[in-house]
Amino acid sequence: MLDAETLEKNLAGQKAQLMKFLDFDGPNGAKIVNNYDWFKNFGFLDFIRDVGKHITVNYMLAKDSVKSRQESGISFTEFSYQLIQGYDFYHLWKEEGIRLQMGGSDQWGNITTGTELIRRMGGGEAFALTTPLIKKADGTKFGKTEGGNVWLDPNRTSPYQFYQFWLNAADEDAGNYIRIFTTKTREEIEALEAEHAQAPHLRIVQKALAADITARVHSEEELEKALQASQILFGQSTAEALKALDARTLLDVFEGVPQMTVSKDALAAGLPILDVACADTALFASRGEAKKLLAAGGVSLNKNKVEGDYTVTLDDVIGGGYLLVQKGKKNYALVVLS
């Protein structure tokens, strides 16, 4: 249903992601093909004559993917998709020598239609290999969090958010995911699980899982940034680490934290810390409360403790347009420059 320009953009994006995991060089390198190349000159009448005649409607209706939709309704486009995907397998078998198609269990019907076409149209043999769809321990679909899907593209899911997704997996899910998504050996995984069982609160399996997959998807450098960002909310990071965060990661780390607004022009002239901290009541209920905590050393700006006479300037800005005010150990407000 997408236009050609969008499809080309998606293909380029997919190849860029796959290049992190597959070797595309050399005679045995991975290869990406586009089924539009063999369908663009294949007329509809030719297709139903040369391909459609080999598969009966009864055969197509017997597929679980079709049977489950018959009551609610299924369009002709969706119904015919198994025949199109089946022909893809036949074409690749004939032109590229492909004998195995892999996919999720929901693809079983489409893939076996391909093996049937290969048998009937070419007298050949091919195979299907499917795996169960990945779900969480509670039965919900993998990746369906409150914030949406988990994307490989850092513009859709930042490396910090990506790392946090795996880190926050339930113990049962983490044990499953580390077997699916990492290249660790059985012995390594079982050793991690034994260590985890001794101190579950340390989340040893989750940390190993998150580190492994974040490094492979995004790089060791991005993993290190994610680790540093993860320490900020727990008070174990430095002001320098906070300043190193880009705007996207900063906003990800402090998602849900109250925000206040301060004029950039006013900050250029310098503002007392009290005016910044009390820009509204997001963090302090009154100026009196803020004064008392400032005097007691209980207020920090960008992870540095400040006193009541401190003047905030543009030099204090982090992430290209923010200030972080902290009350005590766990209460934050993000000041946004307007």
pLDDT in tens, 64-102: 878 777 778 888 888 899 999 999 999 999 999 999 999
Q: Which architecture characterizes domain 33-131 according to CATH?
A: 3-Layer(aba) Sandwich (3.40)
pLDDT-based confidence at 240, cuts 50/70/90? Answer: confident
Secondary structure (3-state) at 87: helix
CA 57 to CA 51: how far, in whole Å?
A: 13
Largest CA-CA distance found in the chain, in angstroms, rounded: 86
Structure tokens at 307: 């006193």
Q: Which architecture characterizes domain 256-337 according to CATH?
A: Roll (3.10)
pLDDT in tens, 212-234: 999 999 999 999 888 888 888 76
> Between the ranges 180-189, 248-257, 315-324, where is the mean pLDDT highest?
180-189
Rounded to two decimals, the pTM is 0.78
Shared fold status for 159-232 and 256-337:
no
Instruction: Write down the pLDDT at residue 181.
Output: 94
Instruction: Tell me the domain boundaries of the chain.
Output: 33-131, 159-232, 256-337
Average pLDDT over residues 8-22: 91
Q: What is the rounded (10 degree) CA torsion for 151, 154, 160, 166? A: 30
Per DSSP bridges, beta strands 259-262 and 322-327 are: unpaired
Instruction: Write down the pLDDT at residue 256.
Output: 81
pLDDT-based confidence at 127, cuts 50/70/90? Answer: very high
Question: 87 vs 55, 95, 170, CA distance in Å?
Answer: 11, 12, 41
Q: What is the mean pLDDT of the chain?
A: 89
Q: Which fold has domain 159-232?
A: Tyrosyl-Transfer RNA Synthetase (1.10.240)
Smallest CA-to-CA distance from 325 within 298, 305, 302, 307 is with 302
CA 246 to CA 154: how far, in whole Å?
A: 13
Angle, vertex CA 183, rays to CA 177 and CA 186, nearest 5: 80
Instruction: Write down the pLDDT at residue 99.
Output: 97
Does pLDDT of 14 surpass 70? yes
CA 125 to CA 99: how far, in whole Å?
A: 7
Instruction: Write down the pLDDT at residue 146.
Output: 55
CA 282 to CA 275: how far, in whole Å?
A: 13
Q: Which residues contact 278 (CB under 8 A, 6 or more apart)?
A: 284, 286, 287, 290
Contact present, 174 and 209 (Cβ < 8 Å): yes
CA 307 to CA 297: how far, in whole Å?
A: 7
CA 53 to CA 285: how far, in whole Å?
A: 76
Structure tokens at 183: 């290249």
Chain centre distance of CA 222: 14
pLDDT in tens, 143-180: 666 556 788 988 888 899 899 999 999 999 999 999 99
pLDDT in tens, 265-298: 988 889 999 998 888 888 888 889 989 999 999 9
Place of tokens 């076409």: 117
Structure tokens at 191: 């050793």
Conformation bin of residue 219: beta by default, left when phi > 0, alpha when psi is -120 to 50: left
Q: Please give the backbone phi and psi of residue 139, each rounded to the nearest 5 degrees, phi first.
A: 95, -5
Q: Which residues contact 263 (CB under 8 A, 6 or more apart)?
A: 337, 338
Q: Please give the backbone phi and psi of residue 305, each rounded to the nearest 5 degrees, phi first.
A: -65, 140
Instruction: Locate the DSSP E strands across the chain.
Output: 100-104, 127-131, 259-262, 271-272, 299-301, 304-305, 311-312, 322-327, 331-337
Instruction: Write down the pLDDT at residue 148.
Output: 63
CA 174 to CA 168: how far, in whole Å?
A: 9
**CA within 13 Å, CB half, 230:** 20
Secondary structure (3-state) at 305: strand
Structure tokens at 115: 């093996």
Does pLDDT of 237 surpass 80? no
